[in-house]
Amino acid sequence: MASKSNIHFEISERKLLLRVFDVVALLFGLYLVSNIFDFDYFMITQQRWVWTLVLIVYFLLFSTIFELYDLQKSSRFESTFQGIVLSVSITVLCYLLTPFLTPELPVNRLQILYFFLAISVAIFLWRCAYIFFISSPRFFKNILLIGNTQEIKVMLDAINSSTNYYEIVGYINSSSDTSVKAPELAGLEEIKNLNLKEIAQQKAVSEIIIASNEREELSKPLFDSLISLLETGLPIKEYTQVYEELMFRVPLQYIGKDFYKYFPFSRSNQNKLYLFSHRLFDIVFSILGLVASLIFLPFVLIGNLIGNRGPLVYTQERVGKNGVPFKIYKLRSMVIDAEKDGAVWATRNDTRITKFGGFLRKSRLDEVPQFFNVLKGEMSMIGPRPERPAFVKQLSESLTFYEIRHVVKPGVTGWAQVKTDYGASEEDSLRKLQYDLYYIKHRSLFLDVNIVVKTLSTVLFYRGR
């Protein structure tokens, strides 16, 4: 059988491709329009390289905030168009309002409109080409799954929920009881042939994922076939590793005695330079946040007077680093005596939340007083959200590794906050724990910046909870 095309782009390669060609399209659009219409405001010259660099930085920053590099959204015309309009609009506005970094406003104000249209149209045309060609099935990664049906189902769910760019060509059941059939795998081809070289060629396999429980062993013929295939250079990965790469969370529910693979965590937790810069960022950002919040203070006071009718700020005990309790500051978003009968999970559409409190939560303004906790050193700007002692005790008993969250300072925002919904049950808490441990494991400056950008996106799109 003739082999199929085996061209594909990794997820990281797709994101890099989008960024690089966005910049190329931006520069090409400006070059083309400035030469056709002889407008000098945005003409790219050797002397203006600083202005060009500032424009690129602005665009990449705002396009990231407005999720132009979310691969799920970048494959759809509607979300792509919306993201381009928002990103280019804010980019042009900031470019115009920072004349100390960019050229002075042109005498002919029509050039500003051409400036906006040149960038928007060029990037949109390139993105259309991306959707038509790069996002097409011809560039999908062909995956072969090997393992027992339960773990294959887990891996299949992770792939289906996180990416559109993987094509599952089939699976091999490695369980000793091959009579076990999973209804969820009915749509997948079960492959009986253990000659993996032949299968890889026939199916144009790009990668093999081993989804096998530690208690089970691959059969000798299957193991030998894998060794033979490994010599050809075809990637063979273990499914918890791929799960973590796709879902950006640690798959705790599938980790047993091999938990030591996931600990210790990121070296950044002991890196003094990183810890110093992290603390410096905390201090600077919390001060700036408190100063900026003064702008909204009159509106918050009026809103609280009308919509909350009671104390504006309240304190609550939370568990901090190393399990040490502290008092957290928040703007009150619930009715007075909301927990007179004891601690209760906050839920979606919680009736205890006032109308003004709902606004505070969605805009994240209720978290502003926590900048004081950051200045005191009880919290960080980024980290796992601190939880109530009663909930910590309850969750520590039911969720393995829950107390590991306390090896770092809790944060005003965190990886779990930007990746998942509000935790209103133990199942939600497990998902949040997976994201929190992913952050602790991969903690770095890049991930911190990623969280800050996603938090800004959450605030701008009014997605707070």
Residue 98 CA neighbour count, 13 Å, CB half: 13
Residue 341 has pLDDT above 70, yes or no: no
Q: Tell which wins on pLDDT, 55 or 180.
A: 55
pLDDT one-digit tens code per residue, 364-407: 888 999 999 999 999 999 999 999 998 899 888 888 788 889 99
Q: Report the SS3 class of residue 151.
A: helix
pLDDT one-digit tens code per residue, 277-324: 999 999 999 999 999 999 989 999 998 888 888 888 989 999 999 999
- Find, among 26, 31, 433, 37, the residue nearest to 249 by Cα: 433
**pLDDT score for 257:** 53
**pLDDT score for 326:** 96
Contact call for residues 449 and 278 (beta carbons, < 8 A): no
Burial class (CB in 10 A: 0-12, 13-18, 19+), 188: middle
Residue 8 has pLDDT above 70, yes or no: no
Give CA–CA dist 428/409, Å, rounded: 21
CA torsion sign, 335 to 426 to 70 to 60? positive
pLDDT one-digit tens code per residue, 163-173: 777 888 999 88
Q: Report the SS3 class of residue 113.
A: helix
- The pLDDT confidence band at residue 3, using thresholds 50, 70 and 90, is very low
pLDDT one-digit tens code per residue, 181-192: 666 677 788 888
Residue-level length of the chain: 465
214 to 110, 172, 217, 239, 364: CA distances (angstroms): 67, 17, 7, 11, 43
Helix axes 11-37, 49-65, angle to 10 degrees: 130
Token output for 219: 């059969």
Q: Tell which wins on pLDDT, 148 or 47.
A: 148
CA torsion sign, 268 to 274 to 280 to 284? negative
Residue 338 has pLDDT above 80, yes or no: no
232 to 9, 102, 170, 197: CA distances (angstroms): 20, 53, 20, 9
Residue 27 has pLDDT above 80, yes or no: yes
Residues 88-103, buried b or exposed e (16+ Cβ, 10 A)? bebbbebbbeeeeebe
183 upstream amide cis, omega within 30 of 0 = no
Cβ neighbors of 127 (< 8 A, separation 6 or more) are 74, 80, 84
Q: Report the SS3 class of residue 181.
A: coil
Residue 258 has pLDDT above 60, yes or no: no
Name 167's bridge partners.
Answer: 142
Fill in the DSSP letter of residue 332: -
Residue type, 206: S
Residue 464 has pLDDT above 60, yes or no: no
pTM of the predicted model as reported, rounded to 2 decimal places: 0.77
Residue range 140-247 forms a domain whose CATH class is alpha beta
How high is the mean pLDDT of the chain? 83
Give CA–CA dist 126/460, Å, rounded: 26
Domain with CATH 3.40.50.720 in the chain: 140-247
Centre a 10 Å sphere on the Cβ of residue 24 and count the other Cβ atoms it contains: 13
Helix axes 77-96, 110-129, angle to 10 degrees: 150
Token output for 449: 């910046």
**pLDDT score for 18:** 93
Q: How far apart are the first and last CA of the chain?
A: 54
Average pLDDT over residues 126-133: 90
Give CA–CA dist 336/344, Å, rounded: 14
Q: What are the two backbone dihedrals, phi and then psi, of residue 103, each rounded to the nearest 5 degrees?
A: -65, 160
Contact call for residues 331 and 365 (beta carbons, < 8 A): yes
Residue 364 CA neighbour count, 13 Å, CB half: 19
pLDDT one-digit tens code per residue, 223-244: 888 888 887 888 888 888 888 8
Give CA–CA dist 10/301, Å, rounded: 50
Token output for 434: 């997976």
Containing H/E element for 64?
Answer: helix 49-65
